[in-house]
Amino acid sequence: MLQPNDKIVIAVSGGKDSLTLLHILTQIEKSFPKATLSAVTIDEGIKGYRDEALKIATKNCKELEVPHVIASFKEMYGSTLDEIVDAIQKKAEKALTPCSFCGVLRRQVLNTVARETGVNKLATAHTLDDETQTMLLNIVHGDAARIARVKPVLSEVHPKLVQRVKPLCEIPEREVALYAYLKDVDYQGVRCPYAGTALRNDVRAMLNRIEAKHPGTKFAIFRSIEKIRPALEAVTGEAELKECEMCGEPTIRDICKPCQMLQELYTP
């Protein structure tokens, strides 16, 4: 996943998972003088929530002496997430949720910042829980190609795409929380006000219920998908990346997902 001379940027939201990853990689990086570490936080523009997270992320990076940049949806897309949510409500389309916009836009901003800061790895703090939830969500959405594509080490190659890695993908969220607690990591405990709207919550609750009754279920799902993935890749084929006709960012479509979603949202 990581090489001794990698230039790594960590996506730090201010929550326990990303700050734990920041603390762990900062420790490990000390043994690798040719590697570099920096952090990026995305300000989606969520009033009453993101401001505190930005302060906590900044404080942790300062204490650990990790260079830190903040990038916002407002700068990149001209709208905060709160403004996008207002537009969603006016549109009154049930399929559109704050999280569907947030996830798509954040992925693109992270890649753009990583590329512009000249790193070759973008590390995100997805845990075993996140990964198994995503795997089941892709099944619920009937998106087999995405199950093949979204993996712990991204294999898609494009000059504008920084390789994404997920060092915590086999660590249960409870263990990450335990690490943060034992190491006294200062993190934001408040949930995003839009979190309740996501289908992911139902999948998370279901997985937690099954895991409590049958420990090891999350690992079993993760391992099963890892075994199935090569067969899926053989069927779905390698996704060919090109540049978005509107913004030039890497995408598998003619128009990237952020451009398409925002265009549809703001077209009357």
Contact residues: ligand SF4, CB under 6 A: 44, 98-99, 102-103, 192, 194-195, 198
Tokens of 216: 């090891």
- The CB-of-193 to ligand SF4 minimum distance in angstroms stands at 7
What residues form DSSP beta bridges with 123?
10, 165
Q: How far apart are CA 222 and CA 141, in angstroms?
A: 18
**Cβ-based nearer residue to ligand SF4, 15 or 167:** 15
- The CB-of-138 to ligand SF4 minimum distance in angstroms stands at 16
Q: How far apart are CA 242 and CA 179, in angstroms?
A: 40
**Cβ-based nearer residue to ligand SF4, 206 or 234:** 206
Contact 81, 45 (CB under 8 A): yes
**Cβ-based nearer residue to ligand SF4, 194 or 222:** 194
**Cβ-based nearer residue to ligand SF4, 195 or 210:** 195
- The CB-of-49 to ligand SF4 minimum distance in angstroms stands at 8
Q: How far apart are CA 55 and CA 32, in angstroms?
A: 29
Alpha helices, DSSP H, located in 12-143: 16-29, 50-64, 73-77, 81-91, 98-116, 128-140
**Cβ-based nearer residue to ligand SF4, 39 or 102:** 102
- The CB-of-195 to ligand SF4 minimum distance in angstroms stands at 4
- The CB-of-199 to ligand SF4 minimum distance in angstroms stands at 11
Q: How far apart are CA 10 and CA 37, in angstroms?
A: 7
